[in-house]
Amino acid sequence: AVSSTLYGHRFLTGEVGGSVTHQCFYSITPANKHYRKYWCKMEGGGICSTIISTTGYISKDHAGRVSLKDIPQNGTFMVTMSELKSSDTGTYRCGMGATNRDLYVRLNLVVSADAVTLGPTELVWGELQSSVTVLCPPGDTQGGKKRFWCKLGRTGCTLVADTDGYVGKSYQGRISITPQESSGAFKILINDLKKEDSGLYKCGTGRLSAQDGSRVVALQLTTASTLPKRPKFLSGTVGDSLSVKCHYDPSGSYEKQYWCRWKEASCELLVDTDGFVHESYKGRIQIASSNRENGTYTVVMSHLREEDAGWYWCGARNGHVERTSSVKLLIQKGNLAPSITPTQRSIRGLTFSMGTVTKSSSTPTQRGIRGLTFTMGTITKSSSTPTQRGITDLRYTTVTDTESSSTLLPTASPSTSVTSSGEIFHKSSSGESRLLPFVLPALILLAVIIFVLTRVKLQREMGEERSAVGTLEAVSDQAGLNPVKEPTGESPAAGKVHGCGTDSGNCRWVFSGTGTDR
């Protein structure tokens, strides 16, 4: 099957008796080089009658006044019609394929006595993912009119970018229209080229519909560039520094490398290898290194600000040719979110700390549960009075460590380990702080288990005491003794065992006999 795209002019004009040349452009592939190319005119019933093709066919009505030249290495073929007649006006197709219904471009030809003919189409080559430079001809030497770049299609020329600040959505950050030179000429710079960028374009000054002073350009794209791919987005933090490594073709003899800021179809120069530094960036931007052999240079931006966010270009210039690439810089504010700070934990004499030190967030907290002590929180800039709370055997103390001084109140129980803030808090990796959400619940669970086990142990001890009492009562029953209540305030007389009474969990034996009361 016919591969990829085919494009060309959608509208042609010619004078009676004159000639007109039409170029069709196609993707350069091995298959397309050998496919049949044709030129046909639409007739009634939707039939397109062949006028000429690369098979050697030429219609009788056009014999001697039509020619077709295929240039496979450039991905284009040209059809020239001469000795034009008014009857040549109509709709045509230039295309590829075995039939006239395969891949084609539809266009209209108008032949009149006073037709204005278009100039020749300039063929410009570009590599996918790379950049291209288009030189637009001198036009408005006064520089008062806007400069534009538009893409030709069925309905006219669709605006891509202009010097009034308009940029099409798909070209954001990757197209620039340079200032006009003294001759009135200017350049269109496009980078990060995509397949859909191929096609017919027009650059000029003033109105899009104006014919004078404009140039028609056919942009053809080849295989992807061999230059290393660079990230399209870079991230920096307010106050920090950022370095960007730029690449260009070392065989291109580029005499100057630069870094510019893109905005609204223009790129303002910030720094270059000739020593230029933009006034508002002095002291915080430089080209730190440049290696012509490898085709690289490094740009360093320091003391980043929020307003530095946006699109930037790496560029290398050789005469009128420039190789560019774009990158979008994202600026983040400083770390304002509260972060977990050093934590100390103590379990029966075992103490350990974890966390990080930050300049702003909530205060540290120390907790103790039956010998389990741990502290969590952060270091803040200003001092505050720590508070202590205790709930039965669960105690925790909230403290704040400051840059100047801090106070840690003692806990309620001697069993709670209290360590000074200087001993508790220390810097650690951010990885440790991320473990806190998992370690803290485990420690709390451990404390609960210890508490439950202690309760169980106490209950068992009380159960054993009750069991001993029950055993003694059983022995007394087997001996035939009748337990009676111990008279309050009376001393037991010596003699026979009378009974056993309990007082506060202690068993005392009462004896009765024949002796007299004392």
Distance from C-alpha of 354 to C-alpha of 339, rounded to nearest angstrom: 13
Question: Is pLDDT above 80 for 518?
Answer: no
Question: Is pLDDT above 80 for 6?
Answer: yes
What integer is the mean pLDDT of 486-496?
A: 41
The pLDDT value recorded for residue 162 is 95
Give whole-number Cα distances, 93 to 348, 402, 515, in Å.
Answer: 91, 80, 143
E strand spans, 85-173:
90-96, 104-112, 122-128, 132-136, 147-153, 156-162
Alpha helices in 359-429 (DSSP H): 421-424
Per-residue pLDDT band at 140 (split at 50, 70, 90): low
Question: Is pLDDT above 60 for 362?
Answer: no
Domain with CATH 2.60.40.10 in the chain: 1-118, 233-332
What integer is the mean pLDDT of 339-365?
A: 42
- Percent of the chain exceeding pLDDT 90 equals 38
pLDDT digits (tens, 9 = 90+) for 61-112: 999 999 999 999 989 999 999 999 999 999 999 999 999 988 898 888 988 8
User: pTM of the predicted model, to two decimals?
Assistant: 0.56
Q: Which long-range contacts (CB under 8 A, 24 or more apart) does 15-19 make?
A: 15/84, 15/111, 15/112, 15/113, 15/114, 15/115, 15/117, 16/84, 16/85, 16/86, 16/111, 16/112, 16/113, 17/83, 17/84, 18/82, 18/84, 18/115, 18/117, 19/80, 19/81, 19/82, 19/83, 19/84
The pLDDT value recorded for residue 143 is 60
Per-residue pLDDT band at 452 (split at 50, 70, 90): confident
What integer is the mean pLDDT of 473-482?
A: 44
The pLDDT value recorded for residue 221 is 86
Q: Quick one: the chain helix, strand, coil %, rounded to 5?
A: 15, 40, 40
pLDDT digits (tens, 9 = 90+) for 290-349: 998 889 999 999 999 999 999 999 999 998 899 999 999 999 987 654 444 444 444 344
Coil, helix or strand at residue 243 = strand
The pLDDT value recorded for residue 278 is 97
Q: Does domain 1-118 have CATH number 3.40.50.1000?
A: no
The pLDDT value recorded for residue 407 is 38
Name which of 117-126, 157-166, 169-178 the model is least confident about.
Answer: 117-126
Per-residue pLDDT band at 363 (split at 50, 70, 90): very low
What integer is the mean pLDDT of 344-360?
A: 41
Question: Is pLDDT above 90 for 57?
Answer: yes
* Most trustworthy range by pLDDT among 82-91, 209-218, 467-476, 477-486: 82-91
Name which of 7-11, 172-176, 365-369, 434-438 the model is least confident about.
Answer: 365-369
Name which of 23-37, 139-153, 428-442 the model is least confident about.
Answer: 428-442
Average pLDDT in the chain:
74
Question: Is pLDDT above 70 for 404?
Answer: no
Alpha helices in 387-429 (DSSP H): 421-424
Superfamily of domain 233-332: Immunoglobulins (2.60.40.10)
The pLDDT value recorded for residue 437 is 66
- Enumerate the β-bridge partners of residue 490: none
- Percent of the chain exceeding pLDDT 70 equals 66
The pLDDT value recorded for residue 500 is 46
Coil, helix or strand at residue 218 = strand
Name which of 229-233, 315-319, 415-419 the model is least confident about.
Answer: 415-419
What integer is the mean pLDDT of 33-53?
A: 93
The pLDDT value recorded for residue 460 is 78
